[in-house]
Homo-oligomer: A and B are copies of this chain.
Amino acid sequence: MSTASPLPGTSRTRSWWGWGYVDAHPDDAECLAMGALLPGTLARPLPIPRVADLDITRPAVTPPSALAHLVTADPEARAAHAMGKAYRDVARALRGRPGRIPDLVALPTCDQDVTDLLDWAGDHDVAVIPFGGGSSVVGGVEYRGDAHRAVLSLDLTSMDRVLEIDATSRSARIQAGALGPVLEQQLRPHGLTLRHFPQSFEFSTLGGWLATRAGGHYATVHTHIDDFVQSLRVITPAGTSTSWRLPASGAGPSPDRLFLGSEGTLGVITEAWMRLQQRPVHKASASVSFTDFSRALDAVRAIAQSDLAPANCRLLDPGEALLSGAASDGSSVLVLGFESATSRVDDRLASALDIARSHGGQGDDEERNSPAGAGGSAVSAWRSAFLRMPYIRDGLARVGAVVETFETAATWDTVPALIDAVRTEVGAAALKATGHPATVNCRLTHVYPDGAAPYFTVAVAGRPGDEVAVWDEIKAVATEVLHRHRATITHHHAVGRDHRPGYDLQRPAPFALALQAAKDALDPHHVLNPGVLIG
């Protein structure tokens, strides 16, 4: 068996310790060039970590023979399943101190396999960490502590098929282990698409998106994967939960909404009926620049409170705009995109541009008319930079930089003060922790009539050898600022283990009681993703 199944049409190798493909990693020279932008980074990149250097012990348990064919103790596989892909994970790998290596990795191929593995784990005190693409940036797929006898990483990526398509209802039954490109490839011949394109698209699965309530393609209206769920199939230690395929229902609290965002603590999502889209044929996009970020915020709010519903409505602050190549003159840049499978969208773009201009935005009419509606240079620059960003982060990590990205959401009355406070206080915390000046950039990724989701990137040269501690210090301040502004600890990255302190402050106490009770009922042996969300 193999845990490194290459994506369809590729034979590229995934990195066990860093983001994405090995061949896309910045080389040493690029790492140094990036580091030059951050005073205080290392003069020589840290070496690329090797599995052979890890202290990988013998598994503490042996699966029964009936399950042996599903399970491997291969060191490479175990190392690749030890952590997600947060900065914190990458930094630990670079310093030779990864998280606890799981004893075993399982690759179930059907629901019965999952049930059997959960039964065995429950009976033998084996913690089970559901694992999709492994792209968690919140410590969602590792084991911390030593309360269990052994740890099993449950890799769902062998369950990656589109099982059924209902073209009439524009929906499909899809196995949870399908990576983004794998499921889209199967939908394409039917002229349909899930159209969920998180930054991690290539390296994350449907099940991961569902379990973490991932943010997706649309900047407005249907911003989360939640909105596209028709029904879920979830294997819990207490039985299998299959909700009916329904376009909507008012029958009690939504069963699906309990499992959405449950991050593997209540059960293992193995498949879902998902609502699909037709591929858009009408597209129009443009960028608008603003000299004043606060007026740009007002413009975005006005667009969000209209009924124009842009598919893309990303506001980059001057630092983000500079980094992504969207602007280099200190402007903020609003990237707007409209799309439709059924009607022209030029008028909607024109209306949005009118709103932006009325708030001081400088629109670029030429871009708007660029071929195939691909948008202009700022739009393209932004998109390329977006996909490249995690690789750059890892390159910076190799020169000892500390990079933290976190996202949140808050109501509009709070957004400006929140952004100011993050810039000021998190910047100061980074300086205090390292003695080096930090960059703190912000963009709005998703917007709503009642608020917005700011996404922050903090970068600073770390204390050599102590990068994880620096990250923890910065994170604590960021968490405190979010809490003080009643801004959510996560809009779409999930809670995992890294966000638990913030989540515990945010979650209403009676809901915590209810969630713990649900957990106790569904996972009585407490083997599912221990330490995440609750308990």
The answer, yes or no, to whether A185 is at the interface (CB within 8 Å) is no
The answer, yes or no, to whether A522 is at the interface (CB within 8 Å) is yes
Mark interface residues in A506-535 (1 if CB within 8 Å of B CB, else 0): 111111011111101110000000000100
Q: How far is the CA of A486 from the CA of B246 in the complex (A)?
A: 8
Chain B residues near A212 (CB-CB < 8 A): 250
Chain B residues near A260 (CB-CB < 8 A): 253-254
Contact present for B510 and A238 (CB under 8 Å): yes
Among A101-109, A141-149, A377-385, A406-414, which stretch is in contact with chain B?
Answer: A406-414
| CB contact list, A425-477 vs B, under 8 A | 446, 448-453
Contact present for A341 and B251 (CB under 8 Å): no
Give the distance to chain B from A173, nearest Cβ to Cβ, in Å: 12
Contact present for B513 and A521 (CB under 8 Å): yes
Among A11-19, A312-320, A492-500, which stretch is in contact with chain B?
Answer: A492-500
Q: How far is the CA of A521 from the CA of B521 in the complex (A)?
A: 11
Q: How far is the CA of A498 from the CA of B200 in the complex (A)?
A: 46
Among A63-71, A162-170, A356-364, which stretch is in contact with chain B?
Answer: A162-170
Chain B residues near A262 (CB-CB < 8 A): 252-253
Mark interface residues in A249-273 (1 if CB within 8 Å of B CB, else 0): 1111111011111110011000000
Q: How far is the CA of A144 from the CA of B305 in the complex (A)?
A: 46
Q: How far is the CA of A254 from the CA of B453 in the complex (A)?
A: 17
Contact present for B241 and A508 (CB under 8 Å): yes
Contact present for A499 and B258 (CB under 8 Å): no
Q: How far is the CA of A234 from the CA of B511 in the complex (A)?
A: 10
Chain B residues near A236 (CB-CB < 8 A): 510
Contact present for A258 and B263 (CB under 8 Å): no
Chain B residues near A246 (CB-CB < 8 A): 409-411, 451, 486-488
The answer, yes or no, to whether A230 is at the interface (CB within 8 Å) is yes
The answer, yes or no, to whether A340 is at the interface (CB within 8 Å) is yes
Q: How far is the CA of A340 from the CA of B221 in the complex (A)?
A: 15
Interface of A is mostly: loop
Contact present for A252 and B263 (CB under 8 Å): yes
Chain multiplicity (copies): 2
User: Contacts A253-B515, A522-B514; is A491 near B308 (CB within 8 Å)?
Assistant: no
Chain B residues near A254 (CB-CB < 8 A): 257, 260-261
The answer, yes or no, to whether A240 is at the interface (CB within 8 Å) is yes
The answer, yes or no, to whether A247 is at the interface (CB within 8 Å) is yes
Give the distance to chain B from A124, nearest Cβ to Cβ, in Å: 22
Contact present for A515 and B252 (CB under 8 Å): yes
Chain B residues near A489 (CB-CB < 8 A): 251
The answer, yes or no, to whether A158 is at the interface (CB within 8 Å) is no
The answer, yes or no, to whether A307 is at the interface (CB within 8 Å) is yes
Q: How far is the CA of A301 from the CA of B278 in the complex (A)?
A: 14
Q: Chain B: which residue is nearest A521 at the CB level?
A: B517
The answer, yes or no, to whether A275 is at the interface (CB within 8 Å) is yes
Contact present for A251 and B503 (CB under 8 Å): yes
Chain B residues near A224 (CB-CB < 8 A): 248, 250
Give the distance to chain B from A46, nearest Cβ to Cβ, in Å: 32
Contact present for B168 and A412 (CB under 8 Å): yes
Contact present for B491 and A169 (CB under 8 Å): no
The answer, yes or no, to whether A135 is at the interface (CB within 8 Å) is no
Chain B residues near A516 (CB-CB < 8 A): 521
Chain B residues near A410 (CB-CB < 8 A): 246-247
Contact present for A251 and B499 (CB under 8 Å): yes
Contact present for A169 and B412 (CB under 8 Å): yes
Give the distance to chain B from A377, nearest Cβ to Cβ, in Å: 28
Give the distance to chain B from A206, nearest Cβ to Cβ, in Å: 16
Contact present for A451 and B248 (CB under 8 Å): yes
Contact present for A449 and B252 (CB under 8 Å): no
Q: How far is the CA of A245 from the CA of B446 in the complex (A)?
A: 16
Chain B residues near A393 (CB-CB < 8 A): none
User: Contacts A511-B241, A520-B517; is A223 near B252 (CB within 8 Å)?
Assistant: no
Q: How far is the CA of A508 from the CA of B283 in the complex (A)?
A: 41
User: Contacts A254-B261, A450-B275; is A508 near B243 (CB within 8 Å)?
Assistant: yes
Give the distance to chain B from A294, nearest Cβ to Cβ, in Å: 13
25 A-B pairs (CB sep. < 8 Å): A169-B451, A171-B411, A214-B250, A223-B248, A240-B510, A241-B510, A244-B488, A246-B488, A248-B453, A250-B261, A250-B493, A251-B261, A252-B261, A252-B262, A252-B263, A252-B503, A252-B507, A275-B450, A278-B305, A305-B342, A306-B343, A307-B340, A308-B343, A514-B517, A517-B517
- 4 A-B pairs with the lowest CB-CB distances in the bound complex, closest first: A247-B451, A514-B518, A247-B448, A517-B517
Instruction: Show the binding face of A for B, using Cβ within 8 Å.
Output: 166, 168-171, 212-215, 221, 223-224, 230, 234, 236, 238-255, 257-263, 266-267, 275, 278, 301, 305-309, 340-343, 347, 351, 409-413, 446, 448-453, 486-495, 499, 503, 506-511, 513-518, 520-522, 533
